[in-house]
Amino acid sequence: MTGTNRPSSYGTVTPSRRPIPASANTYTVQAGDCLSVIAQRAGVKGGTQALYALNKKILVEGPDRIYPGQRLRLRA
């Protein structure tokens, strides 16, 4: 915003892009995460669709609606 003292990144969230360890069986969603990036970072075989299929019971609003604090299964 022009005319304010706020930094340009005020209110934005930058999710981590570090790989999720291959030994991890679950992942807790952080602010700014999306299912496709989680699947890529975790190396989920089958990608986003497979990760969604593993977590359909908790992702009742669909794969585009994930929320911080949700714990996702990464492996079958």
pLDDT tens profile 9-55: 555 656 567 899 989 999 999 999 999 999 999 999 999 999 999 99
- What's the pLDDT score for residue 76? 86
Provide the domain limits for residue 32. Answer: 26-73
CA neighbor of 35 nearest in space, from 22, 54, 10, 12:
54
Q: What is the pTM of this model?
A: 0.77
Does residue 14 fall inside a structural domain? no
Q: How many independent structural domains does the chain possess?
A: 1
User: Which string of DSSP letters, residue by residue, matches 16-74?
Assistant: --SPPPTT-SEEE--TT--HHHHHHHHT-TTHHHHHHHHTTTT-TT-TT---TTPEEE-
- Nearest-angstrom CA–CA distance, 60 and 34: 15
Q: Which amino acid is at 30?
A: Q
**Better-predicted residue by pLDDT, 12 or 68:** 68
Q: Tell me, yes or no, whether 31 lies in a domain.
A: yes
The residue that leads in pLDDT, 7 or 11, is 11
Residues recorded for the chain? 76
